[in-house]
């Protein structure tokens, strides 16, 4: 559930409608074309003038941050869901595979991992929270002996960025995820 700020609650009916259309359109545009897509394109997809787009999001950065935050949120939720698995190593496999598959279908997600919101406090917060969840996953798997003992959450975060690049360059996510997971697995 997105944070319904005070500003959003008092929105006029048409404004509310347009805001929703913009978010849907931007989501689709980012997924298909990445964060570099033009504001004009997003407005066209939403069937709205660019002026309206800028009324709702004062800068492109603000729009990118809004949607990147949501993507990070999904990713964090996936990490938490994976944590429910009974087996520590299976949780990590599940997390990496799920994300790799999603990145293969979503340029915006790849861009989010590698580039989005480096200067935005909200995005940085999400990154930190993801790192914490990742650390939880790793701690458990390490305790159970499934994980190579020296792997850190930062390593895995960097590897997820790497995975996004590798997928973008035409690699098969299944094969790449398998290799990276094998690299993380404890050498038994």
Partner DNA sequence: ATTATCTATAGATCTATAGATAATGC
By the criterion CB under 7 A, which residues form the site for DNA?
Answer: 11-15, 17-18, 38-40, 47-52, 54-56, 58-61
CB neighbours of residue 78 within 10 Å: 17
- 182's enclosing H/E stretch is helix 173-184
The residue range among 1-9, 22-30, 41-49, 180-188 that interacts with a copy of itself, by the rule CB under 8 A, is 180-188
Q: Which stretch binds a copy of itself (CB under 8 A): 25-33, 81-89, 128-136, 151-159?
A: 151-159
Site string for a copy of itself, 55-94 (x = CB under 8 A): ----------------------------------------
33 by Cβ neighbours in 10 Å (0-12 / 13-18 / 19+) ranks as middle
Return d(Cα 176, Cα 100) in angstroms, integer.
Answer: 9
Give the gyration radius of the chain's Cα atoms: 18
The answer to whether residue 155 forms part of the interface with a copy of itself (CB under 8 A) is yes
Contact 59, 143 (CB under 8 A): no
Q: Which is nearer to a copy of itself, 63 or 166 (CB)?
A: 166
φ, ψ at 161 (rounded to 5°): -55, -45
CA atoms within 13 A on the CB side of 120: 19
User: Which of the choices a copy of itself, DNA, none does residue 38 contact, using the CB cut-off of 5 to 8 A by kind?
Assistant: DNA
Q: What does 52 interact with, of a copy of itself, DNA, none (CB < 5 to 8 A by kind)?
A: DNA
Q: Which does 12 bind (CB under 5 to 8 A by kind): DNA, a copy of itself, none?
A: DNA
Reduced to 3 states (helix: H, G, I; strand: E, B; else coil), residue 147 is strand
Nearer to a copy of itself by Cβ, of 37 and 159: the residue is 159
Binding site for a copy of itself (CB under 8 A): 113-114, 148, 150-152, 154-155, 157-159, 161-172, 175-176, 178-184, 187
């Amino acid at each position: 559930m997105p944070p319904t700020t005070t500003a959003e609650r008092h929105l006029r009916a048409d404004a509310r409608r347009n805001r929703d259309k913009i978010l849907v359109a931007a989501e689709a545009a980012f997924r298909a074309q990445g964060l570099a897509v033009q504001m004009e394109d997003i407005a066209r997809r939403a069937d709205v003038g660019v002026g309206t787009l800028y009324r709702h999001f004062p800068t492109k950065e603000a729009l990118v941050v809004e949607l990147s935050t949501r993507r990070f949120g999904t990713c964090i939720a996936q990490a938490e869901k994976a944590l429910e698995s009974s087996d520590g190593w299976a949780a990590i496999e599940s997390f990496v595979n799920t994300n790799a598959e999603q990145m293969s279908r979503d340029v915006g997600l790849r861009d989010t991992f590698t580039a989005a919101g480096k200067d935005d406090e909200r995005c940085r917060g999400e990154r930190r929270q993801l790192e914490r969840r990742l650390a939880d996953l790793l701690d458990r798997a390490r305790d159970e002996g499934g994980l190579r003992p020296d792997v850190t959450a930062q390593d895995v975060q960097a590897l997820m960025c790497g995975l996004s690049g590798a997928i973008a360059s035409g690699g098969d996510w299944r094969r790449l995820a398998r290799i990276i997971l094998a690299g993380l697995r404890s050498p038994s």
